[in-house]
Amino acid sequence: MPFRHLFVLIALLAALTPLAGAQSGGSDAARTAARFEGMRAKPEALLAFLSDMPKGADLHDHADGAVYAEDMLAWAIADGACYTPATLALIEPCAGGDVPLAYGLGKDPNLSAEIVRALSMQTFASRTESGHDHFFNTFGKFGAVNARHPDRILAAATSDAARSRVQYLELMTAVDIGAARDAAKAVAVAHPFEPANFDADDAALDAAFAKIVPAAIAHARALEAERLAALRCASAQPDRGCLVMVRYIQSVIRVDDPASVFAQTRLAFALANDSRSGFVAINYVAPEDAPVAVRDYVLHMRIIAYFHKKYPRAAIALHAGELTPAFVKPAALADHIRQAIEVAGATRIGHGVDVLGERDAAGLLREMASKHVLVEIALTSNDQILNVRGKAHPLPAYLAAGVPVALVTDDAGVSRSDLTHEFLRATLTYGFTYPQLKTFARNSVAYGFLPRTEKAAMERELERAFTAFEHEQALLQ
């Protein structure tokens, strides 16, 4: 009888429903949160917990800065590369005055460790060079190796993200920037850049860009195939990085001259507007406090707004407010974040450290909250580059204002950090609860630049991962 079947089914379901939560007075999530509270005074236990915790996405990760110096040094040795004794920069191909790595490492047992320190913030102590300068100078010291192995850089960044239980990664990289720079130079002869006439500047690039954009999309696709090959994703033993979904953000070098920035921005938008490229957004990189970046900031925001109208599918994330009064004059502190949002149309802000120094900071925070502009918080990077940490950091102010926040790595390799340690630092510094950390992780996926259906799948995956993680944690009690 159907009725009887139904009754049996209900009885069966009731028997199978886990009652553990009811018996212990809480769900797995509540018990996990309680377990987390019990670990506050035990950083080692906290680290193990946070290593296993699903973290969603890393939304602010420079591919070049993500890789550990040891990996780059190993590639350079295998390449037969050299180094410059005065700076410990890795050089490929070797030139006059450089020393072959194999020779130097054979003679000096400390050289390997010294190179790792030169190429990262490992044990950095400011003597003649500031943290800011040492950090940014590392990029020039490993740039030659990275340029030879872009596939390995992306693969290593992806694999490292997977180790931190990141399921979705937006990697900043730069495809064919040289072609955009060359095009800007070539047209400058007949058409000097006119800041007041973007239409003319844009038209002057048309002929060159008819070739540059399809080539850049092809290069981006080829590079992605090489990344997957480097991770052995089609093999029987794929790297853990194959589990991470990756999209790219094209970087524009903001310390170039205006014509170059204009051409680079056009390329970035064209790439991010085309779903075949794997790119979803644009960002501006290089020190925001550099004299050229400060001088041209308003122009840059206008350039971004101009191209966004032409390429509306490309999203905009911007480094803005990665500043303190120690690095720039007060005028530059007044409105970088506001301009990034109101002029350029950025929907995510990288760092935003000087927000409380902006004109009408309270109004700006309200605007970010109401417009759902997420701020990407990189605590270790801000400490190392800007010397801002603890109570001096605006993270609590963002949260109090209801601005969405995600924790990010910025340059994990250079910083000698990873997303797990960013979660640990946030917890130890600000006393966040487990539910707050879950909000950071959920935000990171919700504010990613994936199309709606893919994002929904990512969000479901994160919730499944939380459920499994919390069930394991509840069993450990």
Residues that bind Zn ion (CB under 5 A): 410
Nearer to Zn ion, 49 or 398 (CB): 398
In this chain, which residue has its C-beta nearest to Zn ion? Answer: 410
- What is the closest distance, in whole angstroms, from the C-beta atom of residue 382 to Zn ion in the complex? 10
What is the three-class DSSP state of 452? helix
Closer residue to Zn ion in complex, CB, 414/426: 414
Residues 6 or more apart in contact with residue 154 via CB below 8 angstroms: 63, 171, 173, 223, 224, 226, 227, 230, 246
Residue whose CB is less far from Zn ion, 71 or 410: 410
Q: Cα-Cα-Cα-Cα dihedral of 178, 182, 188, 194, to 10°? A: -20
Give min distance, CB of 369 to Zn ion, in A. Answer: 23
- C-alpha 89: how far from its chain's center? 24
Shortest distance, position 413 Cβ to Zn ion, whole Å = 13
Q: Smallest distance, Å, CB 287 to Zn ion? A: 10
Q: Which is nearer to Zn ion, 29 or 154 (CB)?
A: 154
Tokens of 176: 């064919």
Nearer to Zn ion, 81 or 320 (CB): 320
Least distance in Å: CB of 319 to Zn ion? 5
* DSSP result, 190-222: TS---TT-HHHHHHHHHHHHHHHHHHHHHHHHH
The answer to whether 171 and 248 are in contact (CB under 8 A) is yes
Q: Which residue has the tokens 């900043």?
A: 172
Q: In angstroms, give the least distance from the CB of 251 to Zn ion.
A: 9
Kindly state the smallest distance separating residue 247's Cβ from Zn ion, in Å.
16
DSSP 77-121: HHHT-EEETTTTEEESS--TT-EEHHHHHHH-TTHHHHHHHHTS-
Both tokens of 218, joined, read 């092809």
Shortest Cβ distance from residue 350 to Zn ion (Å)? 5
Instruction: Say what the alpha-carbon torsion angle 348, 352, 358, 360 is, to the nearest 10 degrees.
Output: 50
Give the orientation angle of helix 198-230 with respect to helix 150-163, to 10 degrees: 70
Give the nearer residue to Zn ion in terms of CB position, either 274 or 410.
Answer: 410
In the complex, what is the shortest distance from the CB of residue 146 to Zn ion, in angstroms, rounded to a whole number? 16
Nearer to Zn ion, 354 or 410 (CB): 410
Supply the DSSP symbol for 351. Answer: E
**417: three-class secondary structure by DSSP:** coil
For Cα atoms 177, 278, 272, give the angle at the middle one, nearest 5 degrees: 60
Place of tokens 């601005």: 403
Residue from 83, 81, 105, 100 nearest 92 by CA? 81
CB of 98 or CB of 410, closer to Zn ion: 410
Cβ proximity to Zn ion, 31 vs 319, nearer residue = 319
